[in-house]
Amino acid sequence: MTGTWDEAIAKRIEETASRYPRKESALLPALRIVQEAFGCVSAENEIRVGEILGVPAVRVREAVTFYSLFSRTPLGRHRIQVCRNLSCTLLGGVRVLDHLRRRLNLEPGRTSPDGLFSLETVECLGRCDESPCLMIDDRHHGFLTEDKIDQILASLE
Ligand code: FES
């Protein structure tokens, strides 16, 4: 999803910030609003968020680059995040990633030319009991096999 910054986005961020005792505490929800509106958080929009919340630009940048929830470059329609941490790796995470690479003809860190998929590797998704696992957009998928991955991909719009 892409778009241009407008007053509606600024207003949503201000409304969100009004629910917190200090405006700067709304940094992560504000970045989420921007991520959803544009499909990424650009440097320009980092500055805008910082101005609204009274947060230095460097702190906004730190949050954007620390949390895998945010991306600084435009993503595909579906964002696939494969866990590469210990439990998932031991239980087949490499096989999961290889299968996705082949199926999508895509390397981690890249977006498909048709803009449909972005493939990434991330640290622990907090669902180690369902290893190997991944997230597609906001949805978790665990106990993955090649067949299950194929079914998930087929179910995507
Ligand atoms: S190691 Fe993959 S979810 Fe924790």
Q: Is the pLDDT of residue 109 over 60?
A: yes
pLDDT at 5: 81
Query: pLDDT tens across 66-76, in order?
Result: 998 899 988 89
- Ligand 1 pocket test: pick from 68, 81, 83 the residue with the most ligand atoms within 8 Å of its Cβ: 83
- Residue 93 CA: nearest ligand 1 atom is 2
- Averaged confidence pLDDT in the chain: 94
Pocket of ligand 1 (CB under 6 A): 83, 85-88, 124-128, 131, 133
Domains and CATH numbers, the chain: 7-66 (1.10.10), 78-155 (3.40.30.10)
pTM score above 0.95: no
- Centre of ligand 1 to C-alpha 126, Å, is 6
- Distance (Å, whole) CA 138 – CA 10: 23
Query: pLDDT tens across 11-41, in order?
Result: 999 999 999 999 999 999 999 999 989 989 9
Cα within 13 Å of Cα(9), Cβ side: 19
- Distance (Å, whole) CA 39 – CA 33: 10
Region 106-127: what's the mean pLDDT? 94
